[in-house]
């Protein structure tokens, strides 16, 4: 033990380095708070920071139109829409809502997704059925603790339908 009663002594340089790191960390968090951005690891994780008052979930769902029967085919499996998935697509469609050209952007996005789906199917990158089109729905599900209504939303509004010419 040293005379001061502490085993560890810091030099002026170590004290300065630790102080700089603490100030930098606090500054980065303050900057993130000020710009209200999402730059990990300094963000506030907005996915979990909101309080939901409604007992329902609204989402955008993409379904395929089968070439053989015209029936709707849910496109839930990640391999079918790779490199996208339903949750990221839903978020992208939510962000398009406020755009001045939202309808045209939605149509272009769904047309591109159909083109990608069919190209990957023909390359045997997935085993989904041949599609002649895709539809984008805005769905609303009342929350059910047992998810009994997962396949049957209370509301389903058709936003876009794209078919192969």
* Bigger pLDDT: 112 vs 43: 112
Q: What pLDDT was estimated at residue 40?
A: 64
Each residue of 2-24: pLDDT tens digit?
A: 555 567 777 888 889 999 999 98
Q: What pTM did the predictor assign?
A: 0.66
Three-state SS at 99 = coil
Where exactly are the structural domains of the chain? 12-48, 51-163
Is 30 or 62 the better-scoring residue by pLDDT? Answer: 62
Average pLDDT over residues 149-153: 82
Q: Which whole-number Å values give the CA distances from 32 to 21, 44, 51, 135, in the listed order?
A: 16, 8, 21, 38
Distance CA 64, CA 135 (A): 6
Q: What is the edge-to-edge ordering of all strands in the sheet holding 56-66?
A: 72-74, 56-66, 131-142, 155-163
């Amino acid at each position: 033990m040293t005379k001061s009663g502490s085993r560890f002594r810091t030099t002026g340089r170590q004290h300065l380095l630790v102080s700089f790191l603490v100030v930098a960390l606090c500054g980065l968090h303050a900057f993130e708070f000020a710009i209200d951005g999402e730059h990990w690891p300094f963000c506030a994780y907005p996915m979990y920071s909101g309080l939901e008052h409604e007992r329902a979930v609204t989402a955008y769902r993409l379904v395929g139109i089968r070439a053989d029967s015209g029936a709707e085919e849910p496109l839930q499996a990640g391999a079918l829409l790779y490199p996208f998935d339903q949750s990221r697509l839903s978020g992208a469609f939510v962000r398009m809502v406020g755009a001045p050209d939202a309808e045209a952007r939605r149509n272009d996005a769904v047309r591109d997704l159909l083109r990608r789906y069919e190209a990957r199917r023909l390359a045997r990158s997935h085993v989904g059925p041949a599609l002649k089109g895709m539809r984008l729905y805005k769905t609303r599900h009342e929350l059910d603790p047992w998810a009994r209504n997962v396949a049957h939303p209370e509301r389903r509004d058709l936003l876009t339908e794209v078919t192969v010419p």
